[in-house]
Structure 1
Amino acid sequence: MFIAAYVLTGCMHQPEPVVTPIQQLNTERYMGTWYEIVRMPTSFQRDMSHATASYRLNADGTFEVVNRGFNTRKGEWKTAVGKAKPIDGMPAGFSVSFQWPFSGGYYIAELGSNYEYAVIVSDSHDYFWLLAREPRLPRWLIDRTLARAHEWGFDIEQMIETKH
């Protein structure tokens, strides 16, 4: 969730993925609401449950990003709104900004054939999300995704499964 809300570690730079993104993406089909299933721990998502990311395509080819989650410690909902711009030459690569001039990479590293799940990485091994169209995925798919994340160099021992 808060996909890249503060993944934004760089300032006005051309981001580079830690994993090669997929080569084909139907952006319109990708739009809509996604539930966070697994994530790397981040300071901006501390104590977060019920995390979602919603995407809406803009006429100029960018899309609005709305990340939402429930902070269990504070007992309140948090929302972050940003904008994703396509990266030239990368059909599944975007530069996401929640606060100008900061932006970060958002790369779709894996996508289900029916757009039922997506694996998102960024510019470092500190950011990883498994998203799904439903709040739950089969255990075998979560386990397979974690195994792949390990192969890609992510510390899967740190991964958090999001409560919904």
Structure 2
Amino acid sequence: MRMTVLTLFLALAACGGPPVNRNTTMPLETVDQVDLERYLGRWYEIARFPNRFEEGCEGVTADYAMRDDGLISVTNTCHKGSPDGQTEVAKGRARIVDEATNAKLKVSFFGPFWGDYWVIGLADDYSLALVGEPEGRYLWILSRTPTISDEVRHAAVNDLRQMGYYTDELYWTEQ
């Protein structure tokens, strides 16, 4: 019985998460510094790795704001099926893990469960951000505007490839 339960647990764990879309033998580096005051506010999701919690989402935005308790409020908005589709909102919180850079955070939408949120790319003017986590399961390209130029898109994809990401798996969000 013990072997059966262990086998079932391992099988479920293997199927439970999204695939790894990154060469994890390459260390993932964050940006040197994130000015939280400049980072807060609205971001538009330009692209993401497919994941179950954003299935069918278009017109995705993320809004960040400081809370009185020192955490960051996170409000993710999704429109089901199209940018004009039914709105779904997920509210969470984030905490800074690396106070020296503010580039590593943990985010929670479900009680005690926290996930890595690393700022791995950031435009000097805070117009574009690349956000991932070391295992390569999650990745987002975020922009202050709903669309980006082809030049910015190609540069972001090239940067991600140099970090070991398999960018062919990116889903380009309709805004």
Shorter-chain TM-score tier: 0.7 to 0.9
TM superposition shift of 1:153: 1.9
The residue type equivalent to 2:162 in the other structure is: E
TM superposition shift of 1:123: 3.4
List 4+ stretches of structure 1 deviating above 6 A.
none
Q: TM-score, normalised by structure 1?
A: 0.84
SS for the counterpart of 1:147 is helix
Deviations 1:90-120 (A, max 9, x none): 4211011111211111011111111111110
Q: TM-score, normalised by structure 2?
A: 0.79
Partners of 2:153 and 2:145 in 1: CA distance: 13
TM superposition shift of 1:146: 1.0
User: Is the 1:104–1:123 Cα contact (8 Å) retained in structure 2?
Assistant: no
**Deviates most, 48-57 or 18-27:** 18-27
What is residue 80 of structure 1 aligned with on the other side? 90
What is residue 35 of structure 1 aligned with on the other side? 44
User: Is the 2:47–2:173 Cα contact (8 Å) retained in structure 1?
Assistant: yes
Deviations 1:114-141 (A, max 9, x none): 1111110123211110101100111111
Would you tell me which structure has more helix in proportion to its own residues? 2
Correspondence list, 1:19-30, <5 A: 19-30=28-39
Would you tell me which structure has more strand in proportion to its own residues? 1
Correspondence list, 1:7-156, <5 A: 19-72=28-81, 75-88=85-98, 89-156=100-167
Q: Report % sequence identity.
A: 28
What is the number of equivalent residue pairs in this alignment?
148
The residue type equivalent to 2:79 in the other structure is: F
Partners of 1:121 and 1:34 in 2: CA distance: 15
Aligned-residue RMSD, C-alpha? 1.9
Partners of 2:35 and 2:164 in 1: CA distance: 28
The residue type equivalent to 1:98 in the other structure is: F
In structure 1, list runs of 5 or more residues that go unmatched.
Answer: 1-7, 10-17
What is residue 15 of structure 1 aligned with on the other side? none
Partners of 1:40 and 1:46 in 2: CA distance: 11
